[in-house]
């Protein structure tokens, strides 16, 4: 387990290198010898973005290794311009809806592609059996996985060369949890920085979409999330937008392409007094294009979602609204932000007991006026060129 206090700054080298686990093979100790590494993360967009410190750490310590990733199809968009990644492999979850033959062909093609890697090291950050079986049957030189409580059995252990304890993961950020899997390697350089890049073509596409109203000096609002229980009231977002427009701020609205998100955006616009003054890019952007929009914004406003983590990676000041997610694990990482927690206004269920299909909207307990005050403070600090430090309205949580 890597202690937050012991993690080094990017590219920093410890005076005395950590002691590697005695089971680590010589090839991984003589770091110039490792040539191929595979990192598996079968989760959602935000989860994928937060593995970039681990990828950078591997690049620092294994300078001759080609680093591949295995992800769920679609999530690779966040690593499109990441120069640390050599090859990206994806699991197409839609194949299971296309019949057994299509699924078999897709799985066989993926397996054959991965087999050519002849990996010296596989790092499995996922808890799915699929990932464990790759660690077993691709026959890498060595494989690391997490000892998840629900996978604490002989079969899971047999699929990995070494398992890393997850004790304490609920009490520290996901970035540090990901990095903790590297502890047995005794790496002398650890990078904590989340990185997000986009291409010139992504900026060009955004400019094309906005040719009638060039994006300059604006606030970007991402009101939707993968799960509706993480969302704030559409009426409240409408009031917030009205306030921003009355203050002379430019507003850019973003969101996904799902039917539910489209409906939410329409409801928000219906509550705006001047919807024609809102630049609506919802449903029109791929992830790299969204990164370009967030990067150039003066302020990001949103909820617990992948775009929130993108804003943090791009160092765009933020005001974020949180519900019953674990704040210690999922708050914006190493970035300027103000966080308003619904738990300060009502009782919330434990993060481990959330029904993701619940119709309850926990964030609705956060008053519009409190959000407006937080936004005004951030904008005022930007105008004075003295950005606010990261802060929480909640007093029950402490930063790293």
Token pair of 105, please? 């062909």
CA–CA dist 265, 336 (Å, integer): 26
Report how far residue 269's alpha carbon sits from residue 381's, in angstroms, rounded to the nearest whole number.
28
User: Cα–chain-centroid distance for residue 235?
Assistant: 27
Q: Write the class of the CATH domain 4-185.
A: alpha beta
User: What per-residue confidence (pLDDT) applies to 192?
Assistant: 97
On the CB side of 165, how many CA atoms lie within 13 Å of its CA?
Answer: 4
Q: What CA–CA distance (Å, rounded) separates 225 from 285?
A: 15
| Residue 380 to residue 342: CA distance in whole angstroms | 24
Of 183, 162, 126, 147, the residue nearest 4 (C-alpha): 183
Q: Tell me how far apart the alpha carbons of residues 157 and 175 are, in angstroms, rounded to a whole number.
A: 24
Domain 4-185 and domain 200-392, same fold? Reply is yes
Domain boundaries, the chain: 4-185, 200-392
Quote the pLDDT of residue 17. 67
Domain 200-392: top CATH class: alpha beta
User: What pLDDT shows up at residue 261?
Assistant: 93
CA atoms within 13 A on the CB side of 170: 8
pLDDT at residue 8 in the model: 34
Residue 164 neighbours by CB distance under 10 Å: 20
> How many whole angstroms separate alpha carbon 357 and alpha carbon 185?
40
Contact predicate 194/313, CB 8 Å: yes
pLDDT at 98: 83
The answer to whether 174 and 150 are in contact (CB under 8 A) is no
Phi/psi region, residue 123 (left: phi>0; alpha: psi -120 to 50; beta: rest), is: beta
How many angstroms separate the CA atoms of 89 and 110, rounded? 7
Strand-strand pairing, 66-72 and 121-124: unpaired
**400 residues of the chain, pLDDT tens digit each:** 233 323 333 333 344 568 999 999 999 999 999 999 999 999 999 999 999 999 999 999 999 999 999 999 999 999 999 999 999 999 998 887 788 888 889 889 999 999 999 999 999 999 999 999 999 999 999 999 999 999 989 999 999 999 999 999 999 999 999 999 999 999 999 999 999 999 999 999 999 988 777 888 999 999 999 888 999 999 999 999 999 999 999 999 999 999 999 999 999 999 999 999 999 999 999 999 999 999 999 999 999 999 999 999 999 999 999 999 999 999 999 999 999 999 999 999 999 888 888 888 999 999 999 999 999 999 999 987 665 666 655 433 333 3
Tell me what pLDDT residue 15 has.
Answer: 42
Kindly state the DSSP code that residue 388 receives in the 8-state scheme. Answer: P
Strand partners, 143: 122
Burial class from Cβ neighbours inside 10 Å (0-12, 13-18, 19+) for residue 351 reads: middle
The crossing angle, in degrees rounded to 10, of helices 200-209 and 287-295 is: 80
Is the pTM higher than 0.85? The answer reads: yes
CB atoms < 10 A from the CB of 286, how many? 14
3-state secondary structure at position 33: coil
Nearest to 4 by CA among 340, 328, 332, 317: 328
Any idea what DSSP says for residue 307?
H
Q: Which pLDDT does position 389 carry in this prediction?
A: 61
Does residue 340 contact residue 209 with C-beta atoms inside 8 Å? no
């Amino acid at each position: 387990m890597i202690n937050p206090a012991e993690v080094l700054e990017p590219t920093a080298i410890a005076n005395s290198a950590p002691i590697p686990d005695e089971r680590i093979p010589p090839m991984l100790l003589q770091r110039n010898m490792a040539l191929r590494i595979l990192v598996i993360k079968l989760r959602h967009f935000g989860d994928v973005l937060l593995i970039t410190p681990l990828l950078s750490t591997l690049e620092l310590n294994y300078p001759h290794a080609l680093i591949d990733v295995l992800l769920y199809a679609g999530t690779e968009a966040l690593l499109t311009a990441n120069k640390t990644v050599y090859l990206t492999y994806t699991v197409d979850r839609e194949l299971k809806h296309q019949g057994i033959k299509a699924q078999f062909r897709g799985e066989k093609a993926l397996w054959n592609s991965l087999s050519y890697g002849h990996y010296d090291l596989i790092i499995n950050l996922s808890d799915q059996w699929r990932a464990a079986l790759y660690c077993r049957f691709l026959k890498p030189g060595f494989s690391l996985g997490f000892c998840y409580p629900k996978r604490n059995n002989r079969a899971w252990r047999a699929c990995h060369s070494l398992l890393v304890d997850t004790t304490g993961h609920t009490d520290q950020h996901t970035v540090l949890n990901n990095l903790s899997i590297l502890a047995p390697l005794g790496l002398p350089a650890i990078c904590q920085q989340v990185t997000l890049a986009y291409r010139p073509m992504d900026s060009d596409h955004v400019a094309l979409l906005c040719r009638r109203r060039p994006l300059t000096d604006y606030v970007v609002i991402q009101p939707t999330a993968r799960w509706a229980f993480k969302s704030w009231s559409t009426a409240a977002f409408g009031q917030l937008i009205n306030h921003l427009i009355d203050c002379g701020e430019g507003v850019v609205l973003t969101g996904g392409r799902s039917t539910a998100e489209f409906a939410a955006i329409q409801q928000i616009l219906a509550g705006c007094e001047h919807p024609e003054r809102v630049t609506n890019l919802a449903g029109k952007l791929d992830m790299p294009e969204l990164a370009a929009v967030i990067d150039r914004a003066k302020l990001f406003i949103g909820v617990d979602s992948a775009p929130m983590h993108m804003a943090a990676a791009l160092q765009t000041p933020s005001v974020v609204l949180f519900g019953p997610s674990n704040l210690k694990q999922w708050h914006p990482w190493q970035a300027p932000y103000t966080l308003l927690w619904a738990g300060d206004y009502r009782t919330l269920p434990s993060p481990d007991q959330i029904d993701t299909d619940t119709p309850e909207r926990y964030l609705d307990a956060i008053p519009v006026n409190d959000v407006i005050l937080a936004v005004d403070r951030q904008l005022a600090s930007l105008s004075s060129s003295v950005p606010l430090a990261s802060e929480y309205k909640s007093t029950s949580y402490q930063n790293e």
